[in-house]
Amino acid sequence: MITIPKALGFLVLSTVYFVSAAAVGGQEATKSVNCNKRSLQHVIDRSKPGTLIKVSGTCNELIDITTDNLTLDGRGKADISGAGIVSTLPLVRISGASNVTIKGFTIHNAPRNGLVVRRGGSAVITGNTISDNANNGILVHQSSSARVGSSRDNHALAGTPGSEGNVVENNGGDGIVIRTASSADMFHNIVRNNGLPANPSRGIFLEVGGSAFLSGNEITSNTDRGVHAATNASIRWSADAFHQEQNLIQLNGEGIVCRTGAAMSGNPQNFGVGNPGTGGTPHSDDTDISGTCAISGALGF
């Protein structure tokens, strides 16, 4: 029998421990939480950058993410619900954190906005249903950025198996808002039925230096404009070689509106058709492009 001196045994065990810790430290940590039993915010607050959090159940709480490189994956099984919550805060907010991914959730019944990226944050928002929130579905503002919808190699229609596109629907305010020097790339989302008769609202609204690239989206049946660019905002429509895909804009109060120093560029792959217009408006039901809207590229409107 070989006897290892106590001091040497401690050294050997310590070495093994530290090697194992280093190996774990080099991998992405994974956590699971069932919101029917435990708070998602509690887990987020105790997660380090790079953590993947797999979520199930109904998370009936306000969520604030301030840690970089977190991934929250609802896997199509998790809800984040604002039912019964009284607050002026967003239901889900990404506050200054970079490279946060939110995917596979139903985010609904917020007392105000559904999902907000703010204070210079950045996010990937894919495969979610964002619905029935009192105000806007998605808001990106305060010099933030987001990819909303599928990656370049996933062209599946939002809401179908395997799709990374979002369904943004039945919100009391606008579907998606980009403003205050913020930007978003939007691919293969369905943005529909946003706004109430007493509060006509837009599918996608850009203002105050907001910018967006739109490809392969369906923007339908919103009570006000389908897409509205105002106040020095800008829109690029499917202009690169990877995204020659049309955006369908129909059955909205109006189709595409560009004015107040805004700009649009792109190609003829985008079209608005069958937007009935709001009562008494003097302009076209599909497009309203004023002299202060800067146009470049073969838009085809």
Residue 247 has pLDDT above 60, yes or no: yes
Residue 240 has pLDDT above 70, yes or no: no
Judged by DSSP in three states, 249 sits in: strand
Residue 152 host element (H or E): none
Predicted pLDDT at 3: 53
Between 28 and 122, where is the model more confident?
122
Q: Which amino acid is at 44?
A: I
- Write down the domain spans for the chain: 85-297
Predicted pLDDT at 274: 84
CA 4 to chain centre: 59
Judged by DSSP in three states, 19 sits in: helix
At 166-213, the pLDDT tens digits run 999 999 999 999 999 999 999 999 999 999 989 999 999 999 999 999
Q: Go through 191-207 and write b for each residue having 16 or more CB atoms within 10 A of its CB, e for each that does not.
A: bbbbbeeeebbbbbbbb
Residue 272 has pLDDT above 70, yes or no: yes
Q: What does the pLDDT average to over 109-138?
A: 98
Query: Rounded CA gap, 116 and 255, in Å?
Result: 25
Predicted pLDDT at 10: 38
Q: What does the pLDDT average to over 143-172?
A: 89
At 248-262, the pLDDT tens digits run 899 998 899 998 899
Question: Two tokens at 233?
Answer: 């905002």
Predicted pLDDT at 276: 82
Residue 269 has pLDDT above 90, yes or no: no
- Are the CB atoms for 239 and 265 separated by under 8 Å? yes
Residue 228 has pLDDT above 50, yes or no: yes
Q: What does the pLDDT average to over 260-271?
A: 79
Residue 44 host element (H or E): helix 40-45
What phi, psi does 213 have (nearest 5°)?
Answer: -115, 130
Residue 242 has pLDDT above 70, yes or no: no
Q: What does the pLDDT average to over 78-104?
A: 98
Predicted pLDDT at 57: 98
Beta strands in 121-231 (DSSP E): 122-126, 129-131, 138-140, 145-149, 167-169, 176-179, 183-187, 190-192, 204-207, 211-215, 218-220, 225-229
Residue 9 has pLDDT above 80, yes or no: no
Predicted pLDDT at 226: 94
Question: Two tokens at 279?
Answer: 């009562």
pLDDT band at 300 (very low <50, low <70, confident <90, very high): low
Measured torsion, CA atoms of residues 24, 28, 33, 39, in degrees rounded to the nearest 10: 100
Q: What percent of the chain has pLDDT over 70?
A: 83
Predicted pLDDT at 284: 53
Between 76 and 3, where is the model more confident?
76
Q: What does the pLDDT average to over 40-44?
A: 98
Q: What does the pLDDT average to over 132-139?
A: 98
Q: What is the DSSP string of 74-140?
A: EEEEEEEE-TT---SS-SEEEES-SSEEEEEEEEE--SS-SEEEETT-EEEEES-EEE--SS-SEEE
Predicted pLDDT at 18: 30
Please count the other Cβ atoms lying within 10 Å of the Cβ belonging to residue 279: 6
Query: Rounded CA gap, 261 and 178, in Å?
Result: 16
- Are the CB atoms for 126 and 99 separated by under 8 Å? no
Query: Rounded CA gap, 176 and 111, in Å?
Result: 16
Residue 278 has pLDDT above 50, yes or no: yes
- Are the CB atoms for 73 and 102 separated by under 8 Å? no
pLDDT band at 24 (very low <50, low <70, confident <90, very high): very low
Q: What does the pLDDT average to over 66-91?
A: 98
